[in-house]
Chains A and B, each alone.
Chain A
Amino acid sequence: MTHSDKNSKNGHFLNGLNPLGSLWTKLAHGFSPSILEGDNCQSGYEGSSGVSIKIKDLNKSFGDNHVLKNINLTIEPGETFSIIGPSGTGKSVLLKHIVKLENADSGQILINDHDVSKTESINAKRSYRYSMVFQSSALFNSLTVGENVGLWLREKRICGEARIRRIIREKLDLVGLAGKEELRTSELSGGMRKRVAIARSLAMNPDLILYDEPTAELDPVTSDELARVIMSLKEKVKLTTVIVSHDLSFALYLSDRVAMMHDGEIIAVGTPDEIKKSQNPIVRNFIYTTTKGIQEEGK
């Protein structure tokens, strides 16, 4: 990539080079020049800024199944935005459109006023970084926890090896998995896998982070911890967060704004309070379910 040319100018040649360790990392992570550099990271890695997302008249069908119907949505920079709704209403598909894993039949998605559907290749240069936490975590089974978290940094040669290790430690610490770098991903529980996936996303220092059902496999305590992580991220860095979830209390607690999706359409958008007070029968039906929902005020 073009980063590497830039990279070799950063830092002194011998910084962070300890003879034995460097040979090992050379063998373990390929003969990339990144191990020759010290602490400096590529410009632009540090610090992230929220991006805005505008979705205009988005439509998508799989065969006869019209999954997304005329979706219109605006997400402000730095906002924590949740998309809630029953399973199978196209929430995850919408998310996949934002990260360009799916192509729309019609309509536009503008990120920072730049139409993402027009850039053909996934390798096209972007002015922002995004990352996605998948529902299934999607960890790479052939790699250890640490290698999973550091994959992007190493592949893109963002930093020197010593710095990458420090970032991995920091990010794992952030999700409560300090010191678990050497574990195989197959040894992890569902909740731990999810947290590693989040650490992997955070290692990119993204401007936009998307969570697909982040609490699906987590116990209530871990969900709370995750909520705290997302909240603290919001305070520290000004990144845009999009959460797709059917975990109502989680979404309503965290979000600045919430959109409710039903049958491929956005039927309500508003702050958590507005959603709770919505008079739309479908929204009310979803929110005030008997087993898991929220108690209606005054009842």
Chain B
Amino acid sequence: MRFLNILGSKLLNVAQGLGEMLELLCQTLYYFKEAPRNLTSILRQMNLIGVGTLPIAMLVALFVGMVLSVQTGTELALYGSQEAIGAIVGVSMVKELGPVMTSLLVAGRIGSAMAAEIGAMQVYEEIDALKTLEISPVRYLAMPRLIACLFCVPALVVFAIIVGIIGGGVVAEVNPKINVPFSVYYDNMIRALSYKEVFKGLLKAMVFGGIIGHVGCYIGFKTSGGARGIGESTTRSVVLSFLLIMVANYLLTRFMI
């Protein structure tokens, strides 16, 4: 009986959380109409998310491309079919690794910071102060962050894909076991990729960006309980973003194939 009670209350909590997230999402989308007025804060967030994450995102993508090339290249070389390396690196960077890796990076770097910042504002009554100033916290805080995430994550993914592919190509050329010239690598990759695939990858990235921004804001607004609560929110936002990104990745891949 007690077990059922606990199970029931957990389920109710999850349902309530989902409902609240949906409500916040609707509110945030509603305030998109006010975006031109809040251009300054949107640009500020874009700078933080996009420009701020770019170096580390490119570095990560570079090494992901390189390791992918080494691993599959040496394996393919055993069968003498290492020319396919361009297609393999290109397709996996564009379809999966680019969007997912970059999103996870942004979730860890930006989503957590967002949750902590808004959480601190919640704990120190700043959100209440906004409400008494008749400024909607959703418009003032959540809307610019969500818009910035929606546009910056795909932009970051473009850079990540390019750098990852170049990294893979360099390794393919330099590594004596693989030894595929860059021109061959490039031709092979271009043949395997289509604009449609790239577009799908970027669409994924946009959805993931939305998840990161939305989860960061939602967890932030839900924060309570002082400094400890802020810490918990930071962790929770990362965990929830990772989870939702993975689930969304599967679903999007399933329905876009």
Contacts and interface: CB of A to CB of B under 8 A. Distances in A.
A228 interface: no
Contacts of A134: 125, 128-129
A28 interface: yes
How many chain A residues sit at the interface, stated as a range, is 20 to 34
A99 interface: yes
A164 to B, nearest CB: 14
Contacts, number: 59
Contacts of A291: none
Contact of B136 (A31, A122, A151): A122
Nearest to A100: B131
B40 interface: yes
A241 to B, nearest CB: 15
Contacts of B128: 96, 101, 132, 134, 138
Interface string A124-154: 0000001110111011110000000001100
Which size bracket describes the interface of B in this complex? 10 to 19
Contacts of A66: none
Interface in B121-145: 121, 124-126, 128-129, 131-136, 140
B37 interface: yes
> Is chain B's binding surface mostly helix, strand, loop or mixed?
helix
A122 B133 contact: no
Residue among B131, B134, B136 with the highest chain A CB neighbour number at 10 A: B134
A30 B133 contact: no
Contacts of A156: 134
B129 A138 contact: yes
Candidate in A27, A28, A140 with the most chain B CB atoms within 10 angstroms:
A140
* A contact face: mostly helix, strand, loop, or mixed: loop
Contact of B124 (A100, A136, A200): A136
A138 B128 CA distance: 8
B156 to A, nearest CB: 23
Contacts of B124: 136, 138
A131 B133 contact: yes
Interface in A1-54: 27-32
A138 B36 CA distance: 27
Nearest to B38: A30
A99 B37 contact: no
Contact of B135 (A132, A136, A152): A152
A162 interface: no
A139 B40 CA distance: 20
A30 B37 contact: yes
A181 B37 CA distance: 23
Given A138-B125, A140-B126, A132 B37 contact: no
B15 interface: no
Interface string A164-204: 00000000000000000000000000000000000010001
Nearest to B36: A31
Interface in A75-133: 96, 99-101, 122-123, 130-132
B133 A101 contact: no
A28 B133 contact: no
A155 interface: yes
Interface string B178-217: 0000000000000000000000000000000000000000
27 contacts: A30-B38, A30-B40, A30-B41, A32-B37, A96-B128, A99-B132, A100-B131, A101-B131, A101-B132, A122-B131, A122-B136, A123-B136, A130-B132, A131-B133, A132-B132, A136-B125, A138-B128, A138-B129, A139-B126, A140-B121, A140-B129, A151-B133, A155-B133, A155-B140, A156-B134, A200-B133, A204-B133
Interface of B: 36-41, 121, 124-126, 128-129, 131-136, 140
